[in-house]
Copies of this chain bind each other. A is one copy, B any other.
Amino acid sequence: MFEAAELGHRIDKDSYKAQLPALREALLDAQYELKEKPAFSVVILINGVDGAGKGETVNLLNEWMDPRLIDTHAFGDSGHEEYAQPTMWRFWRALPAKGRIGILFGSWYTAPILHRATGQSGAGELQAAIDDIVRFETMLANEGVLLLKFWFHLGKKQQKARLQALEKDPRTRWRVGEADWEHFKQYDEFRAVSEEVLLRTSTGQAPWVVVDGEDERYRSLTVGQVLLQALRKRLVHPDGDGTPAMAAPLLAPLDGMRVLDRLVLDQTMSKREYSEELEKWQGRINALSRDPRLSQRAVVAVFEGNDAAGKGGTIRRITGALDARHYHVIPIAAPTEEERNQPYLWRFWRKLPKRGKFAIFDRSWYGRVLVERVEGFAPEPDWMRAYGEINDFERQLSDAGVIVIKFWLAIDADEQLKRFQAREQTGFKRFKITEEDWRNRDRWDAYREAVHDMVERTSTRDAPWVLVEANNKYHARIKVLKALCEVIEARLVG
């Protein structure tokens, strides 16, 4: 969930200065258009870790736009007067009227996350709170409210550095108290609870937007742009007769930095090293497949990646180490007619492994948010809701004891071209390369975008994405085998 926000996004001063005037003008225009035709209201939630620029952003939004049309409310753990009322009472009071924008600094998420992270509440209470929130937000969507949920994120190191910097500066020292350092000590708990809550409340209608809070310019522009795009989208399609509000758009990172960009795709590995490592990890995976503890579990390994990234060869290095009775490889192609007559995830539910077995998916349910999104086979509302449905699906697998691990095999465009050409020239590999593969290449950027959103929205503690640098096949195969062994081992203990 937080991978994409830890890439160290930045916007330099000059681009910031260059972009800002147009953004501010456009925001003002949208704001006035909303005022003139008050068809809906806008609710902006500002949540996240301390020191990630929440307060600054609230101030900025009020500075950039006409503050007379904005209602800003700050919510802490819970106030005094409010104590006597039902939990949601104070939030109902803060709802803006149609034509207006409400900024909620802290929100209905603040108390449930904090209470759970500090151990003041149990898992059941968090569950009940999430349930209330989902019902509340569904109601808002049905009532035509445009809801934007921003989560300001900082990695652990970044947060520490940020708190220290604030403390050092005499002008900001007052902002850091003992409570902040106390919270910081619980960073890991806070992060784990936040991830759970964000995953369960990131719906197609109101997805979370996780903002990298480190660079002020980056985070400010991001919030401004997401708000602008969402306003424009809704102003063009204001809410008709009872259909739910349109979702906020997913905005590409403003600095163009995607999760895949941090990978160094060219890795090296000698044939000799490869042979040694292969033997080692194949032995390990074989032993794991016969581990008695695994007989009460199962493994689902998902392989996605660029065309010609080497999924098949990698999968064969795994299956080559396993007893044939212990695994199934499930190749996923376009759905059959039977499958199209069922809900999207139906065909994958049918292919789940029995206890003690491996199910290896060569492509998977992620087709919905990759090829179906990019090629337009699925309309936006369908692939938008798929992130949540996929997370639900994988969580149910984890709850049932299934170990889920997902690999993205990444090669660059040059490497892909080389491999395509080689395939065309090798008779027995020619079947592997089709017109479609060449067409997909044209959509390289669109896929890069889709992979970024997929990793950001579906990489979870229980079902993580492993990004594999695959220009070198040896490196890729070993990295996959090693990660697979390590994740299985960790889960068998945990």
Contact = CB atoms under 8 A, between A and B. Distances in A.
Contact of A86 (B38, B242, B400): B400
Contacts of A200: 131
B392 A135 contact: yes
A241 to B, nearest CB: 6
Contact of A142 (B97, B124, B127, B382): B382
Contact of A346 (B92, B122, B123, B241): B92
A200 B134 CA distance: 12
Interface residues of A, number: 59
Given A99-B341, A128-B127, A343-B143, A87 B400 contact: yes
A243 interface: yes
A80 to B, nearest CB: 12
Given A84-B354, A92-B349, A352-B85, A241 B379 contact: yes
Interface centre among A122, A140, A379, A389 (most CB of B within 10 A): A389
A88 interface: yes
A360 interface: no
A379 to B, nearest CB: 5
B399 A86 contact: yes
A475 B344 CA distance: 59
B92 A345 contact: yes
Contact of A95 (B87, B123, B346): B346
A139 B342 CA distance: 12
Contact of A93 (B143, B343, B349): B349
A164 interface: no
Interface in A361-407: 379, 381-382, 385, 388-389, 392, 396-397, 399-400, 402
A160 B176 CA distance: 66
Nearest to A381: B242
A41 B338 CA distance: 13
Nearest to A384: B242
Given A243-B243, A341-B38, A343-B139, A130 B131 contact: yes
Contacts of A84: 354-355, 400
Interface in A140-156: 140, 142-143, 145
A345 B91 CA distance: 12
Nearest to A348: B92
A86 B345 CA distance: 14
A358 to B, nearest CB: 15
Given A241-B379, A396-B88, A142 B352 contact: no
A33 interface: no
Given A124-B123, A242-B379, A341 B98 contact: yes
A130 B134 CA distance: 12
A132 interface: yes
Cβ-closest 4 pairs across A and B: A124-B124, A92-B349, A86-B400, A143-B343
